[in-house]
């Protein structure tokens, strides 16, 4: 699905986004390991001349990073994440446990399924601009969760900081059972929507929200 001329949503159960730059492409999140195929197809059919030069990770959950295994081997992209998230991506540390029992049980399942860790080439901090994307550090879902705002189009890639529904007309708060600190995660989502004025909201799960101004107003009225 084409969001802008240079931004594509990769089809699949978990959202990854491909951004075309002048001489290369950038990917936001990789989905599960099976998602790599769909990312490769989207890349080949839309931007055949442009190598995948960087992968930016919103956070370390498996459903956002596991595609790195295939993509790393194939393209060798620069892998970028927030400094507080790096230990969980390279697997030098385990993510803190989630608040809720079901979330903790899921965490154990993920550890069983898990890989040995991925190389991170570059760490970023709040306010930094990387590959034309401004970094917002918004911890709560995980310690180093980030949102990324495209400087040119003002598209906001928000990982699991907020979710949208299937129709893409309602903004949903972060999922409590997957958060390390739900109160912090909710505050982070409010902060993100107060400080950025996105042209489109691109979540990790659910449909993109085009022209999200009213949806954001409703969210802030309800949760802040």
Residues that bind Zn ion (CB under 5 A): 61, 63, 160, 204
Q: How many residues does the chain have?
A: 224
Element (H, E) at 149: strand 146-150
- We find the least distance from the C-beta atom of residue 43 to Zn ion, in angstroms, to be 21
The alpha carbon of residue 55 and the mean position of all alpha carbons in its chain are separated, in whole angstroms, by: 10
Helix, strand or coil, per DSSP, at residue 109: helix
- We find the least distance from the C-beta atom of residue 99 to Zn ion, in angstroms, to be 14
Strands (E), 5-119: 7-10, 16-20, 25-28, 52-56, 78-82
- We find the least distance from the C-beta atom of residue 205 to Zn ion, in angstroms, to be 6
Smaller CB separation from Zn ion, 78 or 160:
160
- We find the least distance from the C-beta atom of residue 160 to Zn ion, in angstroms, to be 4
Distances (CA, A) of 112 to 69, 115, 122, 188, 202: 17, 9, 27, 29, 30
- As a whole number of angstroms, the distance between CA 169 and CA 157 comes to 16
- We find the least distance from the C-beta atom of residue 220 to Zn ion, in angstroms, to be 22
Tell me how crowded residue 115 is: count the other CB atoms within 10 A of its CB. Answer: 12
- What residues contact 51, with CB distance under 8 A and at least 6 apart? 24, 25, 75
Minimal CB distance residue for Zn ion: 61
- We find the least distance from the C-beta atom of residue 98 to Zn ion, in angstroms, to be 10
């Amino acid at each position: 699905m084409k969001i802008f001329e240079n931004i594509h949503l990769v089809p699949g159960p978990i959202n990854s986004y491909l951004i075309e730059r002048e001489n290369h492409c950038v990917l936001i999140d990789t989905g599960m390991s099976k998602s790599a195929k769909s990312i490769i197809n989207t890349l080949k059919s839309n931007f055949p001349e442009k190598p995948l030069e960087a992968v930016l990770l919103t956070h370390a959950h498996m459903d956002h990073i596991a595609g790195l295994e295939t993509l790393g081997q194939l393209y060798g992209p620069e892998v970028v994440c927030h400094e507080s998230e790096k230990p969980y991506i390279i697997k030098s540390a385990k993510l803190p446990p989630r608040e809720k029992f079901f979330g903790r049980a899921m965490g154990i399942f993920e550890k069983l399924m898990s890989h040995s860790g991925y190389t991170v080439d570059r760490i970023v901090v709040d306010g930094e601009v990387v590959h034309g994307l401004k970094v917002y550090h918004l911890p709560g879902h995980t310690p180093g969760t980030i949102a990324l705002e495209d400087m040119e189009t003002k598209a906001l890639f928000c990982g699991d900081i907020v979710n949208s529904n299937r129709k893409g007309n309602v903004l949903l708060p972060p999922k409590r059972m997957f958060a390390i600190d739900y109160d912090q995660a909710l505050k982070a989502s409010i902060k993100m929507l107060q400080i950025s004025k996105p042209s489109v909201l691109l979540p990790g799960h659910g449909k993109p929200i085009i022209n999200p101004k009213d949806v954001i107003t409703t969210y802030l009225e309800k949760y802040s």
